[in-house]
Amino acid sequence: MHFSSYWLDTSEPFVSRSPDVPDGSCDVVVVGAGITGTAAALALAKKGARVMVCEAETVGHAASGRNGGMCNNGFAQDYASLSQRIGTELANRLYLAFDAGVDTVERLVREESIDCDFVRTGKLKLAAKPEHYDKLARSQALLAASVDPDTRLLTKAELCDEIGSNHYHGGLIFEKSAGMHVGRYVRGLAKAAESRGAYILERTPVLGLQRGSRCGYVVRTPRGEICAPQVLLASGISQIGPLGWIRRRIVPVGAFLIVTEPLPHELLDRLLPTRRMATDTKNFVNFFRVTPDNRMLFGGRARFATSNLSSDEKSGLILRQQMATVYPELTDVRIDYCWGGMVDMTANRLPRAGQRDGVYYSMGYSGHGTQMATLMGTLMAEIMDGRADLNPWKDFDWPAIPGHFGKPWFLPLVGAWYRLKDGLQ
């Protein structure tokens, strides 16, 4: 079993055309070479900007290369509850931003000829309990009436056409969602950005950031200083560099995944005949899908813990048990990959993007980053060019989380509370 990301192991490594800082100055420094950073670099380079992307590890090393490869529209949280909290008009505007994110992924895959198996399979949200089905039904009625008529509710009896399991109590289909090979996608974005003139500097962590006397900002790296009028932080939950303000506002939460050996077509046709992206309604969420080479990917929160080798291994054992509960036929299959990653969660599970002290940022996608990171990376090129009105998140403040200073000491307590809620709901 490989304790590494299936997506990164099965995609060609990115090879930069320039391993060194070219001459110490550019128009924009982007911090982070995940989906946000590479999409932004591509969009900025298309506008004629000279861009340098500083990545502490390698392209897609963090959340962008460690997720489920799902490109889903819709919110992480319940639409009915969110629209009641923030108002239907704003909720619908944000909902359409997620739709636009999926559309943007599809457009870039086509325009840049990125071979990443992008397919609009749709998403299936599964009711883990009978009362969760009632909640899905309320949301679907509101969605169909105001913002997404392509959603569709399924009773438990109707689920047999979608999933070969009796574990769930109904579901909600989002037809616009998609799946893809996310490792090939993020590395394809990086390659496309460099083909337009951007520089992607791997293993180049940002160690310092300050205003410069002769240029807007001085970005300090182990390879030298870079001067630039503009800086974009696309760094998510990075624990490297001068990002204390952000760390107080983002909670890094572990997400864990396993991938099986390749499975027979006949078996997969029974388990997930439509090949939709699937996720359930628990707080300790499970999600699963079929990979492009016919493996079952099964992921979830498993434990409220950070990702490291020991934690990933413990979480993998939990996920294997959970997968067998949903699909008893998979009890004895071989697990070829087990890994974890960190999700950049905000307090209300909505992204944040904007400008602070002249430095731009976009992050906090809270588990829905593939499509939103693509959209926001692309939009940030316009926002940094004076189009702040294009920012879907411009009206949201971003206060620090009380008692949070970067290390998520409270995760075990949150995990215990969510486990209790899953038991009670």
Residues in the chain: 425
Please give the backbone phi and psi of residue 147, each rounded to the nearest 5 degrees, phi first. -145, -25
Joined together, the tokens standing for residue 352 give 């944040």
Q: How sure is the predictor about 412, in pLDDT bands with cuts at 50, 70 and 90?
A: low
pLDDT tens sequence across 145-176:
999 999 999 999 999 999 999 999 999 999 99
Question: What is the CATH classification number for the domain harbouring 328?
Answer: 3.50.50.60
Question: 297-319, pLDDT tens digit by residue?
Answer: 999 987 767 788 888 999 999 99
Domain that holds residue 147: 6-412
Higher pLDDT, 238 or 72: 72
**pLDDT at 400 (0 to 100):** 92
CA angle 159-278-268, nearest 5°?
75
342 belongs to a structural domain: yes
Q: Which amino acid is at 49?
A: A
Confidence grade of residue 421 (pLDDT, cut at 50, 70, 90): low
Q: Please state the domain count of the chain.
A: 1
328 falls within a domain: yes
CA-CA distance, 247 to 215, in Å (whole number)?
26
Query: First-to-last CA distance in the chain?
Result: 35
- Count of CB atoms situated within 10 Å of the CB of 70: 26
Closest by CA position to 268, among listed 333, 184, 318: 333
pLDDT of residue 242: 85
Q: Which of 290, 298, 235, 244 is nearest to 267 (CA)?
A: 290
Measure Cα distances from 90 to 97, 344, 393 in Å.
11, 23, 10
Q: How confident is the model at residue 327 (pLDDT cuts 50, 70, 90)?
A: very high
- Among candidate residues 162, 145, 24, 146, the one with its CA nearest the CA of residue 90: 146
Global confidence as pTM: 0.95
Whole-angstrom Cα distance, residue 378 to residue 275? 29
pLDDT given for residue 54 in this prediction: 95
| pLDDT (tens digit per residue) in 331-356 | 999 999 999 988 888 989 899 999 99
Tell me whether residue 21 is in a domain: yes
Q: Do 300 and 284 contact (CB within 8 A), yes or no?
A: yes
In a domain, 425, yes or no: no
User: Is residue 417 one of the residues assigned to a domain?
Assistant: no
- Of 418, 250, 245, 234, the closest CA to residue 350 belongs to 250
At 195-227, the pLDDT tens digits run 999 999 999 999 999 998 888 999 999 989 999
Give dist(CA 274, CA 260) in Å, integer.
Answer: 19
Specify if 421 maps to a domain. Answer: no
Residue 132 has phi, psi (to 5 degrees) of -70, -30
